[in-house]
Amino acid sequence: MEPNKSIIEISKLNKSFGENHVLKDFSMRLDSGESLVILGKSGSGKSVLIKCIIKLLEPDSGKIMVLDQDISKLDQDEMDLLRKDIGFLFQSNALYDSMTIRENLEFPLRRHWTKEERESLAEDAVIEALEDVGLAHTVDMMPIELSGGMRKRIALARTLILKPKLILYDEPTTGLDPITSREISELMISIQDKYKASSVIISHDMNCIQMTSNRVIALIEGRNYMADTYENLMKSTDPKVSEFFR
Ligand SMILES: Nc1ncnc2c1ncn2[C@@H]1O[C@H](COP(=O)(O)OP(=O)(O)OP(=O)(O)O)[C@@H](O)[C@H]1O
Ligand SMILES: [Mg+2]
């Protein structure tokens, strides 16, 4: 992909729920190949932001361009087509407990591939995605048979199956022990290398942020308060920023 091509461009995004003004003229840009972390306190609007990017929530005002498309102008079918290029790793993983790992991974293909494509290509795609996360041997297992860290990897494999151009991670390491968190962060880096995807990572796990980010946005009081590398943010003397590093 050409460098400095913008993958996401958000300008003056506003989103309120009643009196609660969550995002206030929030602007940001994600360039091709970048791993951008959104850092913010609980309740600061990180999940609201990610939901606006995939149009699960409608903004009150502002413009959101994703992969060169103004998403406010897309109808349901056009938005579905765009979502094919976007992998979303839910905090909860959102695996289907009654389906095998294979069926979980095939699930996104039902919507985006033809029957012929699925019959000829699905098995190889499932195995490749599972190999990417080191879990090819679990293909016939059920989610309940796996540990929390393994389930996170499976959820990640499911986002990879459609070879996304953009991956959105909502708290990828929350609830995992430090060693497993580190393994997930390493996996995110290797996936970034292999797929040349661009990523937005919501996190307050400082180790994960340090390992995976090219750039960090501190989302404070609804605004893009400060954007810089992890190392530079860490040196900031601004009290609202430095408190994240304590
Ligand atoms: N659908 C909704 N209806 C009403 N209020 C909402 C809705 N979704 C989010 N909010 C409010 O918006 C604010 C931001 O929520 P959000 O989920 O984005 O926080 P967050 O930064 O992701 O926090 P956390 O780190 O705890 O996940 C909160 O005050 C929340 O109550
Ligand atoms: Mg959240």
pLDDT (0 to 100) of residue 175: 87
- Tens digit of pLDDT for each residue in 180-193? 999 999 999 999 98
As a whole number, mean pLDDT of residues 10-21 equals 97
* Upper half-sphere CA count for residue 59 (Cβ side, 13 Å): 25
* pLDDT tier for residue 238 given thresholds of 50, 70 and 90: very high
Instruction: Give the number of the atom of ligand 1 that is nearest the alpha carbon of residue 204.
Output: 25
| Binding-site residues, ligand 1, Cβ < 6 A | 17, 20, 22, 40, 42-48
* pLDDT tier for residue 2 given thresholds of 50, 70 and 90: low
Domain ranges of the chain: 96-162
**Percentage of the chain lying above the pLDDT 90 cut:** 90
pLDDT (0 to 100) of residue 246: 83
Tell how far the Cα of 194 is from the centroid of ligand 1, in angstroms: 33
Among the bound ligands, the one closest to the CA of 44? 1
3-state SS, residue 122: helix
pLDDT (0 to 100) of residue 164: 94
Cβ(17)–Cβ(51) below 8 Å: no
As a whole number, mean pLDDT of residues 95-110 equals 95
Among the bound ligands, the one closest to the CA of 17? 1
Tell how far the Cα of 57 is from the centroid of ligand 1, in angstroms: 11
Q: Residue 10 pLDDT > 60, yes or no?
A: yes
As a whole number, mean pLDDT of residues 165-191 equals 93
Q: Residue 19 pLDDT > 70, yes or no?
A: yes
Q: What is the mean pLDDT of the chain?
A: 94
Q: Residue 146 pLDDT > 80, yes or no?
A: yes
Q: Can you spell out the DSSP letters for 174-228? A: TTS-HHHHHHHHHHHHHHHHHH--EEEEE---HHHHHHH-SEEEEEETTEEEEEE
Residue 199: both structure tokens together = 């990523």
Q: Residue 135 pLDDT > 90, yes or no?
A: yes
* pLDDT tier for residue 158 given thresholds of 50, 70 and 90: very high
**Percentage of the chain lying above the pLDDT 70 cut:** 98
* pLDDT tier for residue 145 given thresholds of 50, 70 and 90: very high
pLDDT (0 to 100) of residue 3: 56
Q: Residue 1 pLDDT > 70, yes or no?
A: no
Residue 14: both structure tokens together = 């506003």
